[in-house]
Amino acid sequence: MSKPLEGIKIIDFTHVQAGPACTQLLAWFGADVIKVERPGSGDVTRNQLRDIPDADALYFTMLNSNKKSLTLDTKKPEGKEVLEKLIRESDVLVENFGPGALDRMGFSWERLNELNPKMIVASVKGFSDGHHYDDLKVYENVAQCAGGAASTTGFWDGPPTISAAALGDSNTGMHLAIGILTALIGRDKTGKGQKVAVSMQDSVLNLCRVKLRDQQRLERVGYLEEYPQYPHGEFSDVVPRGGNAGGGGQPGWVLKCKGWETDPNAYIYFTIQGHAWEPICKALGKPEWIDDPAYKTAEARQPHIFEIFGTIEGWLADKTKFEAVDILRKFDIPCAPVLTMKELANDPSLRASGTIVEVPHKKRGTYLTVGSPIKFSDMKPEVTASPLLGEHTDEVLASLGYSRQDIFNLHEIKAV
Ligand code: CAO
């Protein structure tokens, strides 16, 4: 089956997570992604947190599937020459080096645009160009702090908290992929490439936009009625951390189920949707709450929402998280068990849908990874193994017109 991005050649000058997540997605959808790596070491994640000696770490394999690996020292003149050839025939270059690294290498946007005016140059940086922090190097947690996620995550009596979800890294990569695809469609109309830039701070903030909503509401009315601080606690002039409260108009909380005393994940998330109040009361065996003015509306419930959650926990005490959800789903109540990575890894539905896939790898044997979360009616993205360091160097050089002798002579700039 032909894939929509087949024929799009991408120079993948990315490392760690933010950039690789972007190019991996484009590779799944058919793009020819050539990962350019430093000879000898390659992407630093090949070696980070290894679980098998001498085999690429899962950190690398799970972010670089479906790609080719070209080892090339792009600081040496011969390496630059090869890169220039590649640039002339590629559609996109993606990079997430520290600020200024590509310029220092001699490949500024102006130079790249001169070499190939049709090429799209896509970058991830910690902060946007011209930002007062635009010289900073940034990793995931730094971005979560700079983008508003940390100050609004966690509990009010604890410190700012980092989410396990890669809001700074993979999320930024997904934003960049949207930018690249948009620029490719734009190029079809104008014939010109352009520079696409995404900052990790901006991408985190984009996902925290409801918190910016809350900041403005707080400044206008002085309180936020869906936060646990309302109505008994205090609000300052900044959006507080709301624990596990639901972010919209539906109060929710993480509630204990049978076995919580020994199993740290024996919980469900329970949401009280306004129109589901009647089914909730029925599910809990509390029909008297349906028309009681102290419980009937969301506004009336809020002052004693934790008493209501306590009653629900009483109901949950003899039910596992799975049993509870099986009952509540019949009443159309939005809820889910709190799932562990072990449960997700073995979930038959996720295996069947291709969201969790097993990938054979030359050195590791089989590893588990997350497949495409985007599903298509006409295409099923297949996940293939990440490349070994320099696995495709000779193949890529040959495709650029280098002879066997030339390739041999280039030994110094490509040696693994
Ligand atoms: N051949 C020769 N040199 C190469 C090369 C190659 N194939 N590939 C990379 N290099 C060089 C670069 O030219 C650069 O050299 P100089 O600094 O001397 O100019 C160097 O390797 C890479 O520098 P870096 O700043 O990108 O790497 P770092 O490990 O110091 O920092 C990171 C890593 C992630 C903090 C930084 O790249 C960064 O801030 N990136 C932008 C934000 C980002 O994407 N962060 C997400 C990372 S995922 O958590």
Average pLDDT of adjacent 10-residue blocks, the chain of 416 residues: 93 98 98 97 97 97 98 96 97 98 97 98 98 98 98 97 98 98 98 98 98 97 94 95 86 97 98 90 92 92 92 97 96 95 98 98 97 96 97 96 90 76
Report the atom number in ligand 1 closest to the C-alpha of 140: 49
**CA distances (Å), origin 65, targets 1, 32, 104, 152, 347:** 19, 12, 29, 34, 22
Helix (H) or strand (E) holding 102: helix 101-104
Cα separation, 58 vs 107, in Å, equals 31
278 C-beta neighbours (distance < 10 Å), count: 14
pLDDT of residue 249: 73
Report the atom number in ligand 1 closest to the C-alpha of 37: 7
pTM of the predicted model over 0.85: yes
Closest CA to 208 of 166, 169, 152: 152
* Contact status, residue 284 vs residue 312, Cβ threshold 8 Å: yes
Q: Look at ligand 1, atom 31, and give the residue with the nearest C-alpha.
A: 98
| Residues in contact with ligand 1 (CB, 6 Å cut-off) | 16-19, 36-38, 72-75, 96-98, 101, 104-105, 124-126, 137-140, 169
Cα separation, 199 vs 5, in Å, equals 24
* Contact status, residue 21 vs residue 174, Cβ threshold 8 Å: yes
Cα separation, 180 vs 23, in Å, equals 10
Helix (H) or strand (E) holding 71: strand 68-71
**For this structure, is 157 an active site residue?**
no
302 C-beta neighbours (distance < 10 Å), count: 17
pLDDT of residue 410: 86
Catalytic residue among 91, 169, 202, 214: 169
pLDDT of residue 1: 64
Spell out the residues 6+ positions from residue 185 whose beta carbon is closer than 8 angstroms to its own.
none
The Å distance, Cα 246 to ligand 1 centre, comes to: 38
